Structure 1
């Protein structure tokens, strides 16, 4: 399609993005902007979404107030939309923001609103989502998928592994910890396997789904090109930040006790449920690979960690970007 024709076609099409101002949301908005889609970003605090405006053209991106716990606000945000994207999720529970309220009830509310509007739905879940999981996070993610498909059977579900990028909550957390702590914990010995995926690649998958290039009613599993253990990821953090720190194995039971203490903090670095999650590998399944329900199946060449992570973890070095590798601290 010629650029002018695409602009005329997509600029008349409204895409509503729940959670569009968050870490992944910013990448999604940036990925969709060049395709001229008109975007309505539905967030709890529209006044804090101003950073999205420069990502698109004048009038292309508009923030509105919506709360997944309020069905009326969700329905209002979805009105006149052709596509609805749900990116909302929480890593730990706090007050009314429980896993059940956000992951399950919130996702079901969005799915019902999209179905009532006749809009296509793209729901971002997580690898490991399973209604039978022993971890509440994964269990509610699995229950959410079931609720989404019940309300909107043609929904496209995207399950990313751990997402990395400049503002991620994974590499940044451990790099910050290495700056002040003498050691980094290897929960369960650090043997859990991950397949970290770049936020921009997840956003590219969302872009494909918005354009109708993903199979309706399908669950895609999104992982990067590398599988690494937790221990290997901690070594990567230390290598990039150029710090020498001990890597100390911590049994699961001890980590759970520590998580029980830390979970009362406003932003806990560890919770008992996160420890439970670490008992299961977080990688793309063989079935998803075999059936092309992956980034490669969507025609996306995934970025390696080495291509992206050093570009933002350098700031955790003692003297910044130009620190000599000869003197580690």
Structure 2
């Protein structure tokens, strides 16, 4: 891909999206973000243009994606809150995928989760599995990244575990402790 091609990162002001955006900018890429918080302060200034998701207005969403080559999708919800449920996040992402295809996006890089499965009894993993299938079925070029957990300097979960390990003489690990875990540092 050429450095001048436009890259879209959903949630460039969010935890994972911020690090993807920083890396793309460091590589000399042009970056735009789609966000649910377009009025939020833009830490990247004029280097990143900002557009709202516009899930309820797919034609506007398509227009905002036109001219972009790659979509880095970090959009999802950690926990359902208010009207934003896992099912709604899946619906929104399906709208985003269709809009990306109509806008001429060449590739989707999707941040998923280990054990995503559309048949999972757990709504979080089920939703991620449904989204993966929608991306595959779109016939667009894609990469699906399935980290077990992402962590970094501002991370809460891993840093809380590390704090607990430093302070407590005992740390309980259920079962055999033979868990496959490949955290991704951002």
Larger Rg: 1
Question: In the alignment, does 2:102 pair up with 1:110?
Answer: no
Question: In the alignment, does 2:112 pair up with 1:119?
Answer: no
Q: CA RMSD in A?
A: 2.7
Q: Which runs of 5+ in 2 are unaligned?
A: none
Separation (CA, whole Å) in 1 of partners of 2:122 and 2:49: 36
Q: How far off is 1:190 after superposition?
A: 7.6
Retained in 2: the 8 A contact 1:108–1:151?
no
Retained in 2: the 8 A contact 1:14–1:40?
yes
So what's the TM-score if we normalise by structure 2? 0.83
Q: How far off is 1:73 after superposition?
A: 4.6
Q: How far off is 1:76 after superposition?
A: 3.4
Separation (CA, whole Å) in 1 of partners of 2:170 and 2:123: 25
Distance 1:86 1:185, change over 3 A: same
Retained in 1: the 8 A contact 2:66–2:105?
no
Retained in 2: the 8 A contact 1:85–1:123?
yes
Question: How many residues of Structure 1 are paired with residues of Structure 2 in the alignment?
Answer: 183
Distance 1:159 1:68, change over 3 A: farther
Who is 1:30 aligned against? 22
Who is 2:31 aligned against? 39
Q: How far off is 1:49 after superposition?
A: 4.1
SS at match of 1:160: coil
Retained in 2: the 8 A contact 1:69–1:105?
no
Q: How far off is 1:67 after superposition?
A: 4.7
Retained in 2: the 8 A contact 1:65–1:73?
no
Describe how 1:292-311 pairs up with structure 2 within 5 A: none
Separation (CA, whole Å) in 2 of partners of 1:108 and 1:184: 45
Q: Give the counterpart of 2:3 among 2, 5, 10.
A: 10
Who is 1:242 aligned against? none
So what's the TM-score if we normalise by structure 1? 0.50
Retained in 1: the 8 A contact 2:63–2:103?
no
More helix by share: 1
Q: Which runs of 5+ in 1 are unaligned?
A: 1-5, 54-58, 200-329
Q: Give the counterpart of 2:42 among 47, 50, 63.
A: 50
Retained in 2: the 8 A contact 1:45–1:65?
yes
